[in-house]
A and B are shown apart, each in its own frame.
Chain A
Amino acid sequence: MALEVNGLLHRLAVDPRTTLLDALREHLDLTGTKKGCDQGQCGACTVHIDGRRELACLTLTVAAQGKAVTTIEGLAGADGSLHPMQQAFVDHDALQCGYCTPGQIMSAVACVAEGHAGSDDEIREYMSGNLCRCAAYPNIVAAVRAARTKMEGA
């Protein structure tokens, strides 16, 4: 089958049971997308599918054929410059261990694009699908707020 990830078309042979999360990590060596709960409860595997944030752990790879998948590896510019959301997470120290961070950032980019980052309360509500065991939530909210200003100004 063919799978489009970060603008590149990959050919791969997978068992129908293979989740998109396992295909990314085990077949394409894109290990930025993390496996947390593997049950749709933590958001660590959040990727964009046709521009929408979705969970790679509950997506069958075969069902993602013909769609455009974007992972954390596809967010930075071609010259390596960080996406404003990535830079904001660095600037605001929006993590401790970092395991949930790729999912948080993918979710946050979509949160701003959807128009759901209007206030801190709205950011908290629309980021509730991403859990952080280190509880870096105050700094995550601050990062999303700051990145929103940059993204909307861009």
Chain B
Amino acid sequence: MRPFAYVRAADAAEALRLGGEAGAQYLAGGTTLIDLAKLDVMRPETVVDLGGLAARHGAIAADGSGLTLGAMARMAEVAEHPAVLRDYPVIAQSLQLAASQQIRNMATLAGNLLQRTRCPYFRDVSWSQCNKRVPGSGCAAIGGVNRRLAVLGVSEACIASYPGDFAQALVALDTVVELTGAEGSRTLPLEQLHRLPGTTPHIETELKPGELITALRVPAARWTRRSLYLKVRDRASYEFAAASAAVALDIHEGAVREARIALGGVATKPWRAREAEALLAGKPLDEAAATAAADAAFAGAVTHGDNAHKPELGRRTLVRALLQAAAMEA
């Protein structure tokens, strides 16, 4: 690791003042920052520890209007919260199936949303080409080893996959992110927080310099109880998704009234599959309907050799998730 200064923020106002400086990086759970600083991928000059904000911004609250999750709540706490387990199973499952219990005890919700890609060319500085790490240097993954990389939302500059699980559950449920920054507070649909790589894959989110996520707001809806997260992986536990699907269904009198779908392991950002949702609405959910929806979700897939299997894996994952959710008692 390169040398850095360490400061501990007492509250959000102090964090914003310290975190807005050039070269500053926020430290929450540390599971991304410390890892990538050791690898010399992230090079903070000042580390601003947000640990002091946990008491004020770490609460979990549920009422009739929805679920509010403090940005500093830990993954493990939220995964076991009774209201989350009962009314938002897709959220609980996306957390339970992510990382290991040690990491879930450390990692905060906002830090989880902002985790960086595991693209091997991004994480290994001995590769000179990575547009995400060194803008304009090229992409070694296109034409390289890319079995785990994205097929949706890719560009000629970057095919790195978004690695998380939790963000997919939240994107499916129309979550809104509460932000605070030097210019005041604002909200943003989570779906708009992460950017497509385009020609600037090094700019991953719409966050302004120093801006902090303070809370996540999940609106109550008829589809949250009939929801699940299906994650397909190379090994049974403690593994990133090869493909995953977050689905939530409102089924009324045998037909889908509304569907919510987000896909993981296959896309450059938490991926909302709106075409698939539209196809399901108004019809009974059988295998033919699920397959048609999955075909629509992957219609725009672009593969690069090693990851040619991903669209079919993603389709099958989504079909299975939809049929499982339809069979739930909710």
Interface residues of A (CB under 8 A from B): 15-17, 19, 38-40, 43, 46, 52-55, 57-60, 62-63, 107, 110-111, 114, 116, 124-126, 128-130
Report yes or no: B27 in contact with A63, Cβ–Cβ below 8 A.
yes
Report yes or no: A60 in contact with B35, Cβ–Cβ below 8 A.
no
Report yes or no: B51 in contact with A63, Cβ–Cβ below 8 A.
yes
- Contact flag A40-B31 (CB < 8 Å), given A111-B101, A125-B237, A128-B237: yes
Chain A residues with CB under 8 Å of B137's CB are none
Chain A residue, CB-CB nearest to B80: A114
Report yes or no: A60 in contact with B27, Cβ–Cβ below 8 A.
yes
User: What is the CA–CA distance of A53 and B30 in the complex, to the nearest angstrom?
Assistant: 15
Report yes or no: B30 in contact with A126, Cβ–Cβ below 8 A.
no
Q: Does B49 contact A (CB under 8 A)?
A: yes
User: What is the CA–CA distance of A40 and B103 in the complex, to the nearest angstrom?
Assistant: 8
Q: Does B199 contact A (CB under 8 A)?
A: no
B interface residues, how many (CB within 8 angstroms): 28
Interface residues of B (CB under 8 A from A): 1, 3-6, 8, 27, 30-31, 34-35, 37-39, 47, 49, 51, 76, 99-103, 105-106, 236-238
Additional A-B contact list (7), CB under 8 Å, known A54-B105, A63-B27: A16-B5, A55-B102, A58-B35, A63-B51, A114-B101, A125-B237, A128-B238
User: What is the CA–CA distance of A17 and B100 in the complex, to the nearest angstrom?
Assistant: 24
Chain B residue, CB-CB nearest to A38: B38
User: What is the CA–CA distance of A130 and B237 in the complex, to the nearest angstrom?
Assistant: 11
Chain B residues with CB under 8 Å of A57's CB are 34
Report yes or no: B47 in contact with A128, Cβ–Cβ below 8 A.
no
Report yes or no: B27 in contact with A43, Cβ–Cβ below 8 A.
no
Report yes or no: A40 in contact with B237, Cβ–Cβ below 8 A.
no
Report yes or no: B3 in contact with A17, Cβ–Cβ below 8 A.
yes
